[in-house]
Chain A
């Protein structure tokens, strides 16, 4: 089916099978591979994108549903230089393998969008769906705190 998506502020037309997930369309049709596959069940956060200001799992959203939303991927956050969250993650070395980083940054950017000065508990809650196996949780929390004070 033919669809028109709004991704990172641009209109993108695709022709994909019905029920194709937003994740597969981003990765395979739009070459936006910064959004990662992790579990396909919305349990790990690696595929999060911002859909109309909320962080959502793009593996659980069909492209058809997403066509009615404004989608921002991790690539789109860096349109005019690094987003403060991205900069803070670099500055504090808040990553190891980096596979989960896109999803963390999306959750953090969505959080700061609705609450520019979150306390630590709000940060932990907002990112509770973003699993990291390398164990950079502490650094990520400090990076988000730094981004919120910049």
Chain B
């Protein structure tokens, strides 16, 4: 559903600038996953230039081709071949021009270091471009650089933004400064969906620095010269609200309905049923949402952090009453948000404040606002039942996933299956299964989150696989391998076992657990080693991970993403739970929503990137985070005998489970 198939135009993809510099254009967005670097690598290779000559424009809606959004770890997978083809076509066109200019056949010409060379001549790209930019429809097939001439793709390359980040020069959204820019602060209702009954802004308007108190519908905010002035005035606005409970939708989606599941379950010599529970959790970016809006009479310019710039353009256009073409969205470097930036809240609010005050406005949410008003990962209750045959193989599988919506994209069953139902169908083969997705209502605002529901489903499935193995006295690794048919899947599982020396069991209060999955065609297997104290405290000691993401553009970037996914998932698993009442989030800061710190980081996370180079590239932003919870829970069981079916694995829960 996120693929595009219309023919592409060169001028929307690759520009040779008058000075010979290369600009590559993509609607995808960088938020720490390293795509700017990966795209620069690909384009530098095809155009035969040093990578420093390539700049990558991401998401500027006035410049880049339409893009649905940056989701599902598919940015590199989807864009890499398109950009490669566009850059190869640009090279083709440059050679064509040189051929005409020099009167030499194409076969006598080649490229080197940003120039076309041949017949003893050397024509720089700048010269070939002249005053005529390259343009045209990119043909279906274009000859690309042979592998042996690619200098960058497949090799580790330092992130192109790295120097700006370490020196503080990188400008995140909240670092944008425009002439005449004022600051915004919102007046928040007691709960989402509340309607404004009355408003008294007399006192607020008289406060120092206040430019305007702005109201549009049920959105109220203050614009002032300085941020602290805007916040003080927002607190002085007297608003009365009429609270209306908002409930999420309900749906029932059969995802798989093989025959004979019930009969086989009834007839199985060994049956096991368990329920796993995961709480809602927060995206919890370190940088809260921010946006800068500059809304003038006939146009608007938006500086935002977003995963879908064209979506923000549409929403802002509607909000301020301008045609889409009069709205330009300029995505900025943004704090990692792990799915949360698919919502345009801050952008819409900033646009309303700018329109209402006639000034460019920077709106920076507070930490408390970020926890309270952001969408969260839904909770999940996963019920699994399976039967084993006399030979110890699974003969039937029944799975009921109860969760809330993961996206605002509606209730189309096809959408629900790939969002809330992601990875609900086990990656194992050889038995009939019935998998049912139950979308249940919630007052909590839930939405896209890293890996959608895969982390929850794989926690349940991979914990249960361990439980099935234990119940039938089988070794957990061998039990998994008995149910794997896919060669690439088998390979990552066997490799991780080999690399960690799986059969050497750690001593003392330590244990190891394994978990694996196939996430959107990325194969990933992990082993976690934990130490469980007598009081039930779990310390993650080490993690090994083997990942097969197909062809790999930047292996170092892949490693970094996978490591980060594991570290973040370990934090979800060991520490995190969002508390809410009547749709309002009760955690307001890092003291009430602790996440893993430097002290909690494991001694090592060893990631082995072993991509099948004959397979197309797949995503790596999400899969690392998917198996970690089960690997940890399985390791806790191996270390202490305590089987934890509820996340997070707090000390109290582990202690109770050890006692029982």
For A34, the chain B residues whose CB sits under 8 A away are 167-170
Which single member of B162, B169, B563 contacts A135 (CB below 8 Å)? B563
**Shortest CB–CB separation between residue A24 and chain B, in angstroms?**
6
Closest to A95 in B: B165
- Across the interface, do A133 and B286 meet the contact criterion of CB distance under 8 Å? yes
State whether the Cβ of B98 lies closer than 8 Å to any Cβ in chain A.
no
Residue of A nearest to B571 (CB): A135
Q: Decide yes or no: A90 and B162 within 8 Å by CB, A39-B590, A97-B335, A134-B32 being known contacts.
A: yes
Contact B168 A24 (CB under 8 A): no
State whether B599 touches A99 (Cβ < 8 A): no
Say whether, besides A41-B589, A133-B336, A98 and B161 are in contact (CB < 8 Å).
yes
CA distance A61 to B431 in the complex (A): 63
A interface majority secondary structure: loop
B286–A82 CB distance below 8 A: no
Whether A90 and B32, one on each chain, are in contact in the complex, defined by CB atoms closer than 8 angstroms, is: no
- With contacts A43-B589, A98-B32, A100-B286 taken as known, whether A28 is within 8 angstroms of B226 at the C-beta atoms is yes
Instruction: Report B-chain residues with C-beta under 8 Å of the C-beta of A75.
Output: 167-169
Report the minimum CB–CB distance from B104 to chain A (whole Å): 43
Q: With A75-B168, A134-B564, A138-B604 as given contacts, are A99 and B285 in contact (CB-CB < 8 Å)?
A: yes
Indicate the size class of the contact surface on chain B: 35 or more
Tell whether, in the assembled complex, residue A44 and residue B598 are in contact, meaning their CB atoms are under 8 Å apart. no
Interface 9-residue window, one of B147-155, B172-180, B510-518: B172-180
Residues from chain A with Cβ under 8 Å of B354 in the complex? none
Within 8 A of B (CB), among A117-150: 123-125, 127-141
Contact assessment for A128 and B32 in the assembled complex, using a CB-CB cutoff below 8 Å: no
Whether a CB of chain A sits under 8 angstroms from the CB of B229 is yes
Tell me, in angstroms, the Cα distance from A86 to B166 when the chains sit together: 5
Which residues from A are CB-within-8-Å of B166? 74, 78, 82, 86-87, 89-90, 95, 101, 105
Chain B contact residues, CB within 8 Å of chain A:
31-34, 158-159, 161-163, 165-172, 174-175, 177, 208, 226-229, 284-288, 333-336, 338, 364, 366-367, 556-557, 560-561, 563-568, 571, 589-591, 595-602, 604-605
Residues of A within 8 A of B (CB): 17, 20-21, 24, 27-28, 31-41, 43-44, 46, 73-75, 77-78, 82, 86-87, 89-91, 93, 95-102, 105, 123-125, 127-141
Contacts beyond the supplied A24-B227, A32-B168: 17 A-B pairs with Cβ under 8 Å: A24-B228, A33-B171, A38-B367, A43-B589, A43-B590, A74-B166, A75-B168, A90-B163, A93-B158, A93-B556, A96-B34, A96-B336, A97-B335, A98-B333, A101-B166, A134-B336, A135-B565
9 sample A-B contacts, Cβ–Cβ < 8 Å, listed by A number: A17-B226, A17-B228, A40-B367, A98-B165, A131-B597, A133-B335, A134-B336, A134-B567, A138-B601
